[in-house]
Structure 1
Amino acid sequence: MIHSRWFRLVVIVVLMVAGGLFLWQYNQVDKPQLVNSDGRVFEKARVVDIVRDNLQEDGSRVGDQIVTLRMEDGPDAGQTVQANCPNGLLFGTVCQPGMAVIVISANVGAMGVLFLFFPMVLRGMGPVAAAVITSVIVLAATMYLINGWTKKSLAAFGATLGGILTACLAAIIFGHAVNLSGYNVSNIENLMFVAQNTLIDVGQILFAGILFASLGAVMDIAMDVTAACAELERHKPDISRKALFTAGMNVGRDVMGTMSTTLILAFFGGSLGVWLLDYAYDLPYLQLINSNAVGIEIMKGFSASFGVIFTVPIAAALSAVTHKVEHK
């Protein structure tokens, strides 16, 4: 027993080291310089004084603030510098003396972050295929760390893979039926600029994102069904495959309703600003239902729900198939 635990630990460590080395090597990819960010890092500072304010007589703010900052980290820590504070809701703020802020400092280069999916996309692989490969690796690692290579984890692995592929396929079919594609997204102009300078296929990014978005929920329901079937088989080893499949379907039927609702609410919450604007402007139904933003959110909820629904019979079937042959 102790030998088995040490062997499993060694396998995990070797896999983590090998995976880390592979990811480091795989990320050595040439990236075209789309924006000049050499030497730009984010550092902490504190506002000392307002050199020039942008407050107007009518209470509005126009232009930028010029402020004096005391740097709190980085190579200039403790020094006082002047900085420009843009007038914007996304990257700017209204500075006041004593306020702690994050500034963009141009001193040293920033370290990159290791990824698997993005280097594959930058190297020209289709985003959907890259998402599938990344999901398979994440699934394999997750299932092994939770249960090892047992028939329960293998059944959950297969069911999850089938579920996310179903979700992605449903999104592609739905998008084709209503003339939605990866070129209908709101930031397509920026993506097309990136595509002109890289090998990225921006048309598939939307569907790859749906695959990733449904991965967690699909994995959850797959493990719920397979774990329930495994526990039932452990307490009643003479159960037939048909009865085990029926039990898995009954468990999954109770879970998939709440899981589909969870996914729909998650997509709704992520696009709450879009829905709020549509509601505030009181747009006509035909305009609303034909807008790309609304159509994409409906497609996300529709396809992810399909993935969850189809995961249940796949998980139940795989649990029944991996049941002992003599107990037919």
Structure 2
Amino acid sequence: MNVLTLLLLLFVLSTSLILGKSAFYVLSGLFINTALFLLFIFLLHLQFSVYLVSLLYILANSLVTLAYVNGWTEKTKIAFYSMVLFLFLLTIIFIPLLQALAIHGFPTQEFEELSVMDLNLPIRFSELSVSVLLIGVSGALVDGSMSIASATCELFRHKEKELTFQQLFRSSMTVVKSILNSTVNTLLFAFISSGIALIFWYQDLSIPWQMMLNSKDFVSELMIILLSGLGVALLLPFTSLVTSWYLLKNNTFDS
């Protein structure tokens, strides 16, 4: 038994002990998302549109994570609709922005290793970089939208009196401020963990700090984190606004 198999068994066991019967949906949803990722790679290999395949993958992944694992309730409906609408608006901004930044492709330090490979690929790296960013951001968007939708729904369900839109939205924004801090710090730690190996590599190559800060690798990683943080920072109030409006408009809540 290798280390990966042992870790997988421990993960399945701990998930089953903690979640009970619902562990089946969590574990099966994880394997479904893995299968969707392999399908995503296969469709790119067949030269389908990168943007179209990425959008379909994000929607399918979000539906599995929200609807299949958590059930198609009011909370998951609001979280999914908020995430999809916001991601659509974000895509309109991100695609021209990343094209203008031109952070796609390989850095010069990797040219020697890549010289023995065939770089005539049917996929444009400019489109692939946008796809990678949107897929990475979508994970944080799903998590953030679900957290805010759940908290706002709980505030609405346990209300002691009739709430106005301003009161519910203000209470929901209190949760947003608490979650936003931890979410941004999580993204920062993700950047540190992914970038520390890059920093040591540049130091090993005796590359000055000013060149490292202007390198394509470093700027690319930093831009992904900054844009992800910006997306999450805007999504949380957006989800709070949509959830408050939806709940008061329907005046019902089905947990």
TM-score by length of 1: 0.56
| 8 Å Cα contact 2:37/2:57 also seen in 1 | no
Which residue number in structure 1 is paired with residue 169 of structure 2? Answer: 245
Name the CA shift for 1:185/1:132 in 2 (closer, same or farther; >3 Å).
farther
What are the within-5 Å matches in structure 2 for residues 132-211 of structure 1?
132-165=55-88, 171-180=94-103, 182-184=104-106, 189=114, 193=118, 195-196=120-121, 199-211=122-134
Distance 2:66 2:88 in 1: 18
CA shift at 1:282, angstroms? 5.8
Greater strand proportion: 1
CA shift at 1:253, angstroms? 1.8
- Structure 1 unaligned spans of 5+: 1-11, 24-112
* Amino acid aligned to 2:166: K
| 8 Å Cα contact 1:166/1:310 also seen in 2 | no
Q: What's the % identity of the aligned pairs? A: 19
SS where residue 249 of structure 2 aligns? coil
Query: What is the number of residues matched between the two proteins?
Result: 216
Name the CA shift for 1:178/1:207 in 2 (closer, same or farther; >3 Å).
closer
Distance 1:212 1:284 in 2: 30
CA shift at 1:184, angstroms? 4.2
Which residue number in structure 1 is paired with residue 156 of structure 2? Answer: 233
- Structure 2 unaligned spans of 5+: 1-24
Q: 1:293 aligns with which of 192, 217, 226?
A: 217
Name the CA shift for 1:156/1:279 in 2 (closer, same or farther; >3 Å).
same
| 8 Å Cα contact 1:171/1:207 also seen in 2 | yes
| 8 Å Cα contact 1:127/1:205 also seen in 2 | yes
Distance 2:207 2:218 in 1: 14
Which residue number in structure 1 is paired with residue 18 of structure 2? Answer: none
* Amino acid aligned to 1:256: L
Residue 220 (structure 1) aligned with residue 138 (structure 2): no
Distance 2:77 2:145 in 1: 11
Deviations 1:76-121 (CA, angstroms, capped at 9, x unpaired): xxxxxxxxxxxxxxxxxxxxxxxxxxxxxxxxxxxxx982211221
TM-score by length of 2: 0.71
Compute the RMSD of aligned alpha carbons: 3.3
Name the CA shift for 1:173/1:267 in 2 (closer, same or farther; >3 Å).
farther
* Amino acid aligned to 1:301: I
Name the CA shift for 1:326/1:125 in 2 (closer, same or farther; >3 Å).
closer
CA shift at 1:164, angstroms? 4.4
Distance 1:226 1:208 in 2: 26
| 8 Å Cα contact 2:59/2:84 also seen in 1 | yes
Distance 1:163 1:225 in 2: 14
| 8 Å Cα contact 2:102/2:126 also seen in 1 | no
